[in-house]
Structure 1
């Protein structure tokens, strides 16, 4: 749910990673479906009354885990649009799902990560292209930022109405 509104919710549990692996590239279709009626409906209270909606697991009265929080900001994410422009960015890979090709990157001299994906199905990418991203993640993992290696990427930004970029679609590197 968080991924469908471009909210990074941290690393997934081992069990969640296994499920995502089984789903594979169908996860993109699932995200697209979620962005339609289910998440539009869940934002009704936010859009009309400026309330928020929480999805949580309640194991007991005192032990609760919030899975997702929806408000006007996440409602705006449902209206994000991919730009037709292609720009160049310099970024390091901070997360990569090798089954879906989705991940997160951090632009040089920025502090926040941004989601990314590819313009074609990841499984059809050549192995050398996949290795560029996985090796960058492997190199940067655990290093101080001043020792990171960065990639030059040609991307199309996915923007909210206010101009904020919530995802980059990689067109070339």
Structure 2
């Protein structure tokens, strides 16, 4: 299976600084291959080389802002079988999910197949997210940081060599770089949260904070999810069930928790690290 993408550097012309753009492209290649190797083997890869189960290949470029077509190629029978079982839309959905999680962003509701795969990875998902956040996505942001151009990643589908659809997967800019290196606050605060998403296998989720008038959905996790007792995990899953289909903050059900904030340099909170539930 070959999955087609493009990377666009939103420069004013058809050219861009070669050194910075090559680092960004290498970072994008490594990010996608890291997720792809995890899909193929259900193990987070330690390092990548030419003999891996997947690789990325450059294709033709195109006019406009500097753009480069490329494709993800399955090289081994194991990878081909795994990707064929999941199907291209699900593989791309999983790639988008991990890019979104690494950038503390919300994402569309997952399909049953994508959700099942991510659940199967369990706590290894957090290792994959950290690997993306601490390495490959740092390199992807070389162009936004040095040249101040946004970079976007698209998935392309073809029918008889004609483009059928071009779908934006992720944009990388100064704002997304800022969330890669947040600082954890020393102060523990008490907040009331309504769970809107929760993965019982990884402990990651999304919530609304009571009293926040922006209607922002924010990420949350735990200081030590493995150490949580099943009855505590159940509090979060039950709260999610209670809030399914509810949009009105006044009628949503809330949990009182103690947490530390992960904060960007400008003071914006990108995630709450929950330390305990207040009964």
Common topology (TM > 0.5) = yes
Deviations 1:23-60 (A, max 9, x none): 11011111111112210110011011111122221003
For residues 148-159 of structure 1, the aligned pairs below 5 Å read 148-159=252-263
Superposition TM-score, scaled by structure 2 size:
0.59
TM-score normalised by length of structure 1:
0.93
**Range 144-153 or range 108-117, more displaced:** 144-153
1:123-138 matched pairs, under 5 angstroms: 124-138=227-241
Matched, 1:53 2:53: no
Give secondary structure in 1 for the equivalent of 2:109. coil
The structure with the largest alpha-carbon Rg is 2
* Structure 2 Cα separation of the partners of residues 15 and 51 of structure 1: 35
- In structure 1, stretches of 5+ residues that fail to align are none
Q: Given the alignment of the two structures, is residue 163 of structure 1 paired with residue 267 of structure 2, yes or no?
A: yes
SS in 2 for 1:59: strand
Q: What is the distance in 2 between the residues matched to 1:118 and 1:44?
A: 30
Structure 1 position 13, deviation (Å)? 2.3
Q: Distance in 2 between matches of 1:149 and 1:121?
A: 22
What is the CA–CA distance in structure 2 between the aligned matches of 1:126 and 1:51, rounded to whole Å? 46
CA distance in 2, matches of 1:13, 1:52: 29
- Asked if 1:36 corresponds to 2:134, the answer is yes
Q: How many residues align?
A: 172
Shift >3 Å, 4+ stretches: none
CA distance in 2, matches of 1:11, 1:105: 14
Which structure has more relative contact order (CA 8 Å, sep 6+)? It is 1
Q: Which residue of 1 aligns with 2:100?
A: 2
1:1-173 equivalence runs, <5 A: 1-60=99-158, 61-110=163-212, 111-122=215-226, 124-143=227-246, 144-173=248-277
Structure 1 distance, partners of 2:117, 2:259, is 29
Find the aligned partners of 1:97 and 1:107 in 2 and give their Cα distance: 18
Structure 2 segments unaligned to the other structure (5+ residues): 1-98
